[in-house]
């Protein structure tokens, strides 16, 4: 062993100041943001529109999730927009109504800045689109190697210093993952919008574009296929009964008590090792992954077992691909000869760098996974703090804000009693707002006449109809209009679901009516007859998955969950984009 020399310190003491210049203190939190951090609403926010993002965050955010939200839809979006040089927007910013997330777009407000961004935008985007496969493989590889690191850490065996370092690493990685998210998203968005623009110019109409890019296999598509396969195995091995009827907490015990139960459970665990690294919502560090709590996966399998027949994924996919190819052929026939080359190049370029595909595919690497390392390290830390008596239970840690946690763990231990005392109130506050979630307005601030941004239209569904419906306010409506997202006409009984945790109430053959769907809703598409959403355009999750499953879907209706009641008999026309309420609740 060598003796370490005492570190040499040149003291900064003479230069320590409260102020940067006389009369100027730097405002907290102003530094890392290109445009602005997550904030509560202020009066000034009345001047622009704020869309409730129930698409990504249906239940509200605990304090710790506000840091991850900051990383994602604010910092990540803003840095991505800045680096890519997206001309008209500096990304998105979030406001909170209670604990609920609203999203706003930050315009670049001077002509010079827009022009300067446009000038560098092409330099950044062009080379990436020219070789997207290699580029995405590089980014996905970076993310995957981080997961290989974090997933295999022996957290329980770490000393406190190592564990705290891991928490910090996990946060740093989370932030990086979200920069990648928005970098790729803006690049692919450009490609998609270019195709959209071309389709408009040559008379096809931009709205056909998403259908021309459909039908690509995604990781979550494979996950659903695996869940159906496991349902089939449960039938073969005769373990269906507990999967359909047991309390999730007792399910494993009941399954393993059956003769082939351990075989099935072993296969299920094998499945989780590959497909289980997903959380229920984006940025929500307070929600478990399937690896930690497989209840959602087991519920999905149980639901599939309630249908008499297995779902033929192969046939459904072939149908979806055939439908897409037919649309491509129809488009080629409709295009003038002189435009065909541009159309073919745009299609090929978009197939090679496919936003419609990536918009679904990236979830397993970023949206539903990036916060898992933060959650796992935080829970281990919470368990130790609970054992030390600092807090009551491990997940109390999620009711501290990230700056509070960093302060208290980096020398401010004296604050523990104050912080711990606030946790019960904060839990109550979260619960209060969780319950108020369904009644919150879809849009706050100044409702615009038109939103020109096709991404806000295609992903969030801010069409003219949508905005008109919002302006009209609540009324006795018997017909809703939205985007015709997946064709077909059916009548059936509505089931209104406002948060994903209520999804187990959906019965086979019902029509799902909801704010919007995300990845964890996917399996329910295997049992429903049709889907109707408040938000969303032709590129949203519900639209894509409905097409894959071949069920009618209307999205972007603005007011379905407020107009339709569970039990109403409704008629969904996925070609016209209409939903009619035929009769009130049936009992």
Q: Among 94, 191, 287, 517, which residue interacts with another protein (rule: CB under 8 A)? A: 191
Q: Among 14, 18, 19, 111, which residue interacts with another protein (rule: CB under 8 A)? A: 111
Angstrom CA distances, 570 to 72, 475, 484, 578, 585, stand at 37, 17, 16, 10, 10
- N-term to C-term CA, the chain: 80
- Point out which span in 18-26, 86-94, 394-402, 462-470 binds another protein (CB under 8 A): 86-94
- Point out which span in 24-32, 51-59, 188-196, 499-507 binds another protein (CB under 8 A): 188-196
Give the span between the Cα atoms of 471 and 494, in whole angstroms. Answer: 25
Tokens, residue 255: 């399954």
Residue 121 as a binder of another protein (CB under 8 A): the answer is yes
The answer to whether 534 touches 517, Cβ cutoff 8 Å, is: no
CB nearer to another protein: pick between 128 and 230: 128
Residue 313 as a binder of another protein (CB under 8 A): the answer is no
Q: Among 146, 190, 496, 555, which residue interacts with another protein (rule: CB under 8 A)? A: 190
Contacts of 527 (CB under 8 A, 6+ apart): 303, 304, 306, 307, 506, 507, 508, 509
Q: Among 67, 101, 198, 542, which residue interacts with another protein (rule: CB under 8 A)? A: 198
Residue 195 as a binder of another protein (CB under 8 A): the answer is yes
Tokens, residue 557: 């209706």
Q: Among 83, 158, 194, 295, which residue interacts with another protein (rule: CB under 8 A)? A: 194
Least CB distance to another protein at residue 75 (A): 21
Residue 197 as a binder of another protein (CB under 8 A): the answer is yes
Number of residues lying near another protein (CB under 8 A): 36
Contacts of 103 (CB under 8 A, 6+ apart): 50, 51, 53, 73, 92, 93, 94
Binding mask 330-369 for another protein (x = CB under 8 A): --------xx-xxx-xx--x--------------------
Q: Among 34, 96, 114, 334, which residue interacts with another protein (rule: CB under 8 A)? A: 114
Give the chain's radius of gyration (CA, Å): 25
> Taking CA 464 as the corner, what is the angle to CA 494 and CA 540, rounded to the nearest 5 degrees?
55
Residue 454 as a binder of another protein (CB under 8 A): the answer is yes
Residue 407 as a binder of another protein (CB under 8 A): the answer is no
CB nearer to another protein: pick between 191 and 561: 191
Q: Among 150, 196, 268, 313, which residue interacts with another protein (rule: CB under 8 A)? A: 196
Residue 118 as a binder of another protein (CB under 8 A): the answer is yes
Which stretches within 336-401 are classed as H helix?
337-352, 355-361, 372-387
Q: SS3 of 512, please? A: strand
CB nearer to another protein: pick between 242 and 454: 454
Strand 443-445 with 89-97, pairing: unpaired
CB nearer to another protein: pick between 103 and 405: 103
Strand 553-555 with 483-486, pairing: antiparallel
CB nearer to another protein: pick between 346 and 381: 346
List Cβ<8 Å contacts ≥24 apart for 182-186.
182/76, 182/77, 182/79, 182/80, 182/81, 182/84, 182/91, 183/80, 183/83, 183/84, 183/139, 184/136, 184/139, 184/358, 184/362, 185/80, 185/358, 185/362, 186/80, 186/81, 186/84, 186/86, 186/125
Least CB distance to another protein at residue 554 (A): 24
Bridge partners of 52? 102
Give the span between the Cα atoms of 421 and 136, in whole angstroms. Answer: 46
The answer to whether 535 touches 476, Cβ cutoff 8 Å, is: no
Residue 129 as a binder of another protein (CB under 8 A): the answer is yes
CB nearer to another protein: pick between 455 and 559: 455
Q: Name the residue with tokens 């943001």.
A: 33
Least CB distance to another protein at residue 206 (A): 8
Residue 308 as a binder of another protein (CB under 8 A): the answer is no
Give the span between the Cα atoms of 137 and 339, in whole angstroms. Answer: 32
- Point out which span in 198-206, 247-255, 372-380, 434-442 binds another protein (CB under 8 A): 198-206
Q: Among 29, 32, 122, 403, which residue interacts with another protein (rule: CB under 8 A)? A: 122
- Point out which span in 145-153, 197-205, 285-293, 464-472 binds another protein (CB under 8 A): 197-205
Q: Which residues bind another protein (CB under 8 A)?
A: 86-88, 111, 114-115, 118-119, 121-122, 125-126, 129-130, 190-191, 193-198, 200-201, 338-339, 341-343, 345-346, 349, 452-455
């Amino acid at each position: 062993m060598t003796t370490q020399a005492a570190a040499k310190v040149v003291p900064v003491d003479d230069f320590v100041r409260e102020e940067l210049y006389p009369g100027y203190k730097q405002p907290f939190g102003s530094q890392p943001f290109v445009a602005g951090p997550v904030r509560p609403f202020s009066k000034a926010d009345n001047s622009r529109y704020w869309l409730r993002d129930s698409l990504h965050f249906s239940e509200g955010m605990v304090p710790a999730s506000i840091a991850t939200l900051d990383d994602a839809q604010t910092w990540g979006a803003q840095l991505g927009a800045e680096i890519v040089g997206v001309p008209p927007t500096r990304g998105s910013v979030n406001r909170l109504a209670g604990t609920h997330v609203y999203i706003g777009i930050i315009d670049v407000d001077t002509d010079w800045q827009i022009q300067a961004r446009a000038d560098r935008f092409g330099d950044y985007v062009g080379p990436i689109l020219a070789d997207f496969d290699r580029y995405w493989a590089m980014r996905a590889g970076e993310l995957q190697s981080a997961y290989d690191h974090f997933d295999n850490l022996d957290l329980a065996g770490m000393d406190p210093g190592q564990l705290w370092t891991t928490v910090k690493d996990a946060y740093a990685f989370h932030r990086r993952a979200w920069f990648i998210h928005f970098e790729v998203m803006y690049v692919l968005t450009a490609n998609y919008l270019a195709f959209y623009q071309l389709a408009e110019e040559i008379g096809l109409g931009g709205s056909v574009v998403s259908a021309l890019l459909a039908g690509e296999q995604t990781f979550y598509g494979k996950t659903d296929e695996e869940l159906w396969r496991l349902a089939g195995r449960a039938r073969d091995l005769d373990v269906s009964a507990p999967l359909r009827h047991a309390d999730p907490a007792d399910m494993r015990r009941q399954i393993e008590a059956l003769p082939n139960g351990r075989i099935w459970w072993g296969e299920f665990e094998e499945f989780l090792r590959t497909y289980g690294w997903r959380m229920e919502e984006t940025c929500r560090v307070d929600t478990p992954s399937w690896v930690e709590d497989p209840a959602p996966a087991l519920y999905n399998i149980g639901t599939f077992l309630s249908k008499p027949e297995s779902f033929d994924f192969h046939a459904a996919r072939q149908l979806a691909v055939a439908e897409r190819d037919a649309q491509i052929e129809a488009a080629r026939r409709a295009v003038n000869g002189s435009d065909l080359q541009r159309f073919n190049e745009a299609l090929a370029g978009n197939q090679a760098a496919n936003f419609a595909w990536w918009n679904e595919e990236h979830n397993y690497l970023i949206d539903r996974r990036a916060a898992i390392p933060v959650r796992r390290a935080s829970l281990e830390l919470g368990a130790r703090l609970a054992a030390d008596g600092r807090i009551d239970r491990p997940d109390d840690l999620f009711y501290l804000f990230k700056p509070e946690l960093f302060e208290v763990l980096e020398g401010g231990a004296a604050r523990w009693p104050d912080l711990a005392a606030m946790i019960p109130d904060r839990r109550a506050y979260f619960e209060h707002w969780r319950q108020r979630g369904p009644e919150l307005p879809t849009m706050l601030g100044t409702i615009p006449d038109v939103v020109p941004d096709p991404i806000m239209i295609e992903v969030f569904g801010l069409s003219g109809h949508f905005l008109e419906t919002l302006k009209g306010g609540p009324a006795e409506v018997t017909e809703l209009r939205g985007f015709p997202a997946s064709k077909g006409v059916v009548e059936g009984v509505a089931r209104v679901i406002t948060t994903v945790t209520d999804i187990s109430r959906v019965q086979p053959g019902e029509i799902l009516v909801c704010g919007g769907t995300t990845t964890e809703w996917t399996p329910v598409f295997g049992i429903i007859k049709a889907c109707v959403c408040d938000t969303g355009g032709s590129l949203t999750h519900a639209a894509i998955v409905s097409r894959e499953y071949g069920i009618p879907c209307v999205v972007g209706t603005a007011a379905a969950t407020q107009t339709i009641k569970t039990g109403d008999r409704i008629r969904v026309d996925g070609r016209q984009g209409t939903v009619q309420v035929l009769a009130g609740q049936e009992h």
